[in-house]
Structure 1
């Protein structure tokens, strides 16, 4: 637990009362973010009580606030809420007691296929990068239905045909959020949407920016230490510059996240993928700036003597690797060259 008080982060709009209540409850949970079963229980309760009409702004403020408290907690909460949003978009009512992951990554040398017979669909093969598969009850998983098409399926992870690997997972950041392969051996699966729906749906872009909101909240958690360092009697102009640099970068990301929430809330857009990639890129760069600035401003001491700070830095470094840097920028460039009205 990093604080006895919930964060007061906002995307230029005061968080809804339910957001503040959820974060206030989280702030007093022993082991929040570190104890996976405890944090998953909290995430499941958040999912059960989340207003169906919750705005994107408030959903992202919730993720940012959770990450401000503990980056690992946001990393646990985000896929659960994303899965619930996907199921809602598909018109599927989830089990209220379930805890969810979303496993959509592909990896060299592994392939998960979906087969259909008279009794229904089953999954066979291996899926890489399945976060917390050994702790969750269910997951939404993409699988190949033939050589060209993928489809999304809901699967029970506690079925005897599912084997969740314990590793390899030598991570120093997010060490509790094990992301390892899972083997499926004829696992019963329920299709969610038709072929290709997972990537086509409007909510795909929304979910991607939700992750960025968590990056932003995690990076905002570095500012109190920078402010404290700039407030000491020994602080010089460089200490003030470090604080100003990090604040400016994160303020710009805040503005981008807020505008993206407003634009997405106005309705579906053909350029939603481009807008999401822009928001993720701006936020990832801002969070990276804050991390680099904190390292320069604070030196090695908090990285070795302050468990909370060291864990935040390590967790955020790894979480940011969900952004693919130059490859994501190149994808934006391709989208821009293909667009008739890129700006």
Structure 2
């Protein structure tokens, strides 16, 4: 992807997208057989995501969605993902916008609009899409080569995450395969496991954004104030990494808990990682001033990407939900 000054000159209709050739090595690094979890596979996959995000958040965003899709297909007994496919998960449902699902015999058809579809204008070959049927909200698998799909990539105006190929997708009688039953997508504990994977990508992005600060420390270019910022970032990132790996080990070694237990774990992880992200963004800028963002296109892109990616968090709303779940402190005691 070009550095930020070049990206600034790109019209929205010419937004550069991340190609499958860049995403494929990350997808190939995931361990998903015989399932995406167990035997250390969760920790391995989260480490892969974090490493990818430290280098390129667009690539990591697309890889995270594919990993989520493959995991969902395994959990809900969906159709197997074809070899060399790249999947998106399109579940955003802002007010007034929805996809309707209509059953015709043994098949389903989807009609409606989906916003914020990462990978739609880029590498994705398939997608999992939420839609509303007569019996409730369902999840469906679609082949993006099917008729009736129109991708509108010119609505993404943000400078950040331009390469993730997010677009609005219009669906008209698109053939689909139901994955799980009504409500299964949100009701499974694995929904919250996917939320932890998103946090792993945020964490990797924070490592990448703070790299100029660590480099300045190694080169002896930081005064006491700069070293204090570096120390704080180091502590925040270490806490985030520790909690991510502890969560991964639980997911690998234990049977899923209740939906509430998994939700609490995920919200804790995301809150701690988001704190580390905020620390890396704010303290790197305060310690080093405008130089890195003004003169280093790769760093400027990472900052813009991470600032918009982390807004997948619901911020104080998530903290309020975590607060409602935090009355029981038994697991905090020695």
Question: Does the pair score TM above 0.5?
Answer: yes
C-alpha distance in 2, partners of 1:109/1:322? 20
Deviations 1:70-107 (A, max 9, x none): 22211121101111111112233221132110011111
Q: What does residue range 270-281 of structure 1 map to in structure 2 within 5 Å? A: 270=258, 271-281=261-271
C-alpha distance in 1, partners of 2:255/2:32? 21
> Is the 2:210–2:281 contact (alpha carbons within 8 Å) kept by the matching residues of 1?
no
Q: What does residue range 1-343 of structure 1 map to in structure 2 within 5 Å? A: 35-46=18-29, 50-52=32-34, 55-91=41-77, 92-135=79-122, 136-146=124-134, 149-265=136-252, 266-270=254-258, 271-336=261-326
Deviations 1:100-159 (A, max 9, x none): 10011111221111111225211111112111212321100111113x720110011222
Deviations 1:171-209 (A, max 9, x none): 111111132221111111100001111112232111110
Q: Which residue of 2 aligns with 1:17?
A: none
Q: 1:222 to 1:128 in 2, by over 3 A?
A: closer
Deviations 1:229-276 (A, max 9, x none): 224455311111111011011111111112211222311111101110
Give 1:223 shift. 3.7
C-alpha distance in 2, partners of 1:34/1:142? 24
**Larger RCO (CA under 8 A, 6+ residues apart):** 2
What is the RMSD of the two structures over their aligned residues, measured on CA atoms?
2.3
Q: 1:302 to 1:159 in 2, by over 3 A?
A: same
> Is the 2:18–2:59 contact (alpha carbons within 8 Å) kept by the matching residues of 1?
no
> Is the 1:167–1:178 contact (alpha carbons within 8 Å) kept by the matching residues of 2?
no
> Is the 2:76–2:179 contact (alpha carbons within 8 Å) kept by the matching residues of 1?
yes
TM-score under structure 2 length normalisation? 0.86
Q: 1:234 to 1:115 in 2, by over 3 A?
A: closer
> Is the 1:206–1:276 contact (alpha carbons within 8 Å) kept by the matching residues of 2?
yes
C-alpha distance in 2, partners of 1:189/1:340? 44
> Is the 2:121–2:167 contact (alpha carbons within 8 Å) kept by the matching residues of 1?
no
Structure 2: gaps of 5 or more residues: 3-15
TM-score under structure 1 length normalisation? 0.84
Aligned length: 310
C-alpha distance in 2, partners of 1:305/1:105? 36
C-alpha distance in 2, partners of 1:250/1:226? 13
Moved over 6 A (4+): 339-342
